[in-house]
Amino acid sequence: MKYGIVAFPSKKVQDFANSYRKRYDPHYALITPHMTVKGVFEADENEIKHIAENVAKVVAEHKPFTLKTSKVSSFAPVTNAIYFKVEPTEELISLHKSLNAIGFNDEENYAFVPHITIAQKLNASEHDDIYPQLKMIGAEFEEQIDRLHLLYQLEDGSWTVYETFRLSGAE
């Protein structure tokens, strides 16, 4: 089964992202707007219980972090995805590294670029048409994130919460 670890922004940020995702993101109905902290990995029922225990330990050592979006950006030419750029704070980078140290029997395919996707799977001309417009919208939000969510993928492709963890490290 496929799993991932994400942080969900506030409803305000989700609603703003969804106003674009419903038109430009084919995954709109499969998962709510989120920032991936640990990308997709596979595990069976026994492995995920052990992984969840380790995630709980890591999260207990980290305090809540600030999720600050600063602008709309794109991964082009690597992929035609458009996203809200999340500032990579020390706390967020440290949390990401600690989670990756758990050992998920996977390899990271990409450098960690914190973001909230608002458009993906666009062809080149769609991307070139939409991206300049979206760059002008302004996507400045700042909020505290105090929970991470371990998600799993259902047979229909949608994602749902397996377990939620509170960031509770010493202040």
User: Which residues does the annotation mark as catalytic?
Assistant: 34, 115
Sequential DSSP letters for 45-87: HHHHHHHHHHHHHHHHTS--EEEEEEEEEE-TTT---EEEEEP
The first and second tokens of residue 136, run together, are 């002008």
Q: What amino acid occupies position 78?
A: V
First to last CA, the chain: 35
Count of alpha carbons within 13 Å of 58, Cβ hemisphere only?
26
Tell me the C-alpha to C-alpha distance, in Å, between residue 101 and each of 51, 54, 95, 134: 11, 10, 10, 36
